[in-house]
Amino acid sequence: MAKMTQEMKDLIGSQQAFVATASPDGTPSIGAKGSTKVVDDEHIVFFELAGGRTWENLQKNPKVAIAVVDRSTMQGYRFVGEAELITEGQLYEEAKQLGEMLKVPVPPRAAVKIKVDEIYNLGAGGMKVD
């Protein structure tokens, strides 16, 4: 079980996150997710508003990686875990509010909550953080 430090949480809160998924046959996909935020020491969430490739992949393969890097310092982290697709409750309501604010014409697909299992330091050659 991996726990995020305050430094990691601050980075997620201040920088662009990129979410990587894969189809069941292993075809990779990566996309920027501007709604990414920390839930607690062990969970990250983003809102799947459009329902594109990321959404398709997560329905069949819940494995996900999220990379966040501060380009000014070239420091960052990769968070690896499994996604839970949430379609009701507080996190989903936050997704709906964001969709309305952005004038997305359809309701969000889900709030995607990731249980962080592993963390890698991208500024230290990708070494795993204990």
Which domains, and CATH codes, for the chain?
6-125 (2.30.110.10)
Q: What is the pLDDT of residue 101?
A: 81
The answer to whether the predicted template modeling score (pTM) of the entire model surpasses 0.85 is: yes
Q: Give the residue among 88, 78, 73, 89 at the shortest CA–CA distance from 114.
A: 78
CA distance 49 to 23: 19
CA distance 7 to 62: 26
Mean pLDDT of 36-48: 94
Residue with tokens 């990379």: 67
pLDDT at position 5 over 90 = yes
Q: Give the residue among 9, 88, 79, 77 at the shortest CA–CA distance from 41.
A: 9
CA 73 to chain CA mean position, Å: 21
The DSSP call for residue 124 is: G
